[in-house]
């Protein structure tokens, strides 16, 4: 696994905390709530999945380094790069995980799915098979990332290589797939021409923030009455 860029990896739960006394209230905040409250940059992990050769590495490299390699090598395992950005007034460090799409590397990529905040399902508009495999990628992600509520997980679908003249998948077909499979946002990109690449990653951030703001709203809506045996507060979560 190779990786780099600015920023660190989201830390896990702190160990060794003493048990709270009855008078203490322990508030467990989701990282997005904590980041919002402290004004710190939020670290989001997004993962690129899709068939080998659809352009996942090229999209990541275009976005982070603004370079394109017309003779890129297949990825082996996973690689990641970080980029800081601001979306709708929120400062975010995007940790982009690029995976190997070839079947023979499945066991090398799947351990890295856990903890992803968003999944970018990628195909190439000049490769019909890569489009038909989107459902398999979605299932593989849900299984290995152990997504508890797939219906609310932020997926974004990318149709890459729109600079190519001969398409095998139309925009309408791709939009229809997205609508039927979870009403996912669909973006057409070209890593080669730098079309919609930044827009695609920003959309991923927006999708995550929308889900997390909902969660934040629910958590802040809860009140804890220490003197009552019954629970109170909203029950939107
Ligand atoms: N014309 C065109 N070619 C592209 C585009 N994106 C990637 N490519 C080319 O497609 C080939 C495969 O790109 P990669 O980025 O390596 O594909 P990948 O999805 O990372 O492939 P794996 O690592 O095997 O999973 C390379 O030759 C790229 O130069 C694009 O937007 N337009
Ligand atoms: Mg690659």
Beta strands 78-87 and 90-99: pairing type?
antiparallel
Q: How far apart are CA 122 and CA 44, in angstroms?
A: 19
Q: Is the pLDDT of residue 65 over 90?
A: yes
Q: What does the DSSP 8-state code read for residue 15? A: P
pLDDT, tens digit, for every residue of 72-110? Answer: 999 999 999 999 999 999 999 999 999 999 999 999 999
Rg (CA), the chain: 20
pTM of the model: 0.82
How many CA atoms, within 13 angstroms, populate the side-chain half-sphere of residue 71?
A: 0
**Ligand 1, atom 21, residue with closest C-alpha:** 53
Encoding tokens for residue 3?
A: 């990786």
**Ligand 1, atom 32, residue with closest C-alpha:** 161
pLDDT at 106: 97
CB-defined site of ligand 1, < 6 Å: 50, 52-58, 69-72, 74-75, 100-102, 160-161, 163-164, 190-192
Question: In ligand 1, which atom is closest to the CA atom of 69?
Answer: 29
Candidate of 53, 67, 126 to mutate for ligand 1, largest count of ligand atoms within 8 Å of Cβ: 53
Query: Which of 111, 90, 109 is CA-nearest to residue 50?
Result: 109
Q: How far apart are CA 171 and CA 197, in angstroms?
A: 17
Residues whose CB is less than 8 angstroms from the CB of residue 171 and which lie 6 or more positions away in sequence, other chains included: 159, 186, 188
Confidence of residue 168 (pLDDT cuts 50, 70, 90): very high
Question: How close is the Cα of 13 to the center of ligand 1, in Å?
Answer: 37
Contact 152, 213 (CB under 8 A): no
What mean pLDDT is predicted for residues 166-182? 97
Question: How close is the Cα of 124 to the center of ligand 2, in Å?
Answer: 13
What sign results for the dihedral spanned by CA atoms 108, 147, 139, 182? negative
Confidence of residue 189 (pLDDT cuts 50, 70, 90): very high
């Amino acid at each position: 696994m190779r990786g780099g860029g600015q920023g660190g990896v989201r830390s896990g739960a702190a160990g060794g905390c003493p048990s709270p006394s009855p008078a203490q209230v322990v508030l467990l905040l989701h990282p997005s709530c904590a980041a919002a409250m402290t004004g710190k940059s939020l670290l989001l992990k997004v993962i690129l999945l899709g068939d080998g050769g659809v352009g996942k590495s090229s999209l990541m490299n275009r976005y982070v380094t603004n370079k394109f390699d017309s003779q890129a090598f297949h990825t082996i395992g996973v690689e990641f790069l970080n980029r800081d950005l601001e979306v709708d007034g929120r400062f975010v460090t995007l940790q982009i995980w690029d995976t190997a799409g070839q079947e023979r590397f499945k066991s090398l990529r799947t351990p890295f799915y856990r903890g992803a905040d968003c999944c970018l399902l990628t195909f190439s508009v000049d490769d019909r098979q890569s489009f038909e495999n989107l459902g398999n990628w979605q299932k593989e992600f849900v299984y290995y990332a152990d997504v508890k509520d797939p219906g609310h997980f932020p997926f974004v679908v990318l149709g890459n290589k729109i600079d190519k003249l001969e398409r095998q998948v139309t925009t309408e077909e791709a939009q229809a797939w997205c609508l039927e499979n979870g009403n996912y946002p669909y973006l057409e990109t070209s890593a080669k021409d730098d079309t919609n690449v930044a827009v695609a990653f920003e959309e991923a951030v927006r999708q995550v923030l929308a889900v997390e703001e909902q969660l934040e709203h629910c958590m802040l809506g809860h009140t804890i009455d220490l003197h009552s045996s019954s629970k109170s507060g909203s029950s939107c979560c």
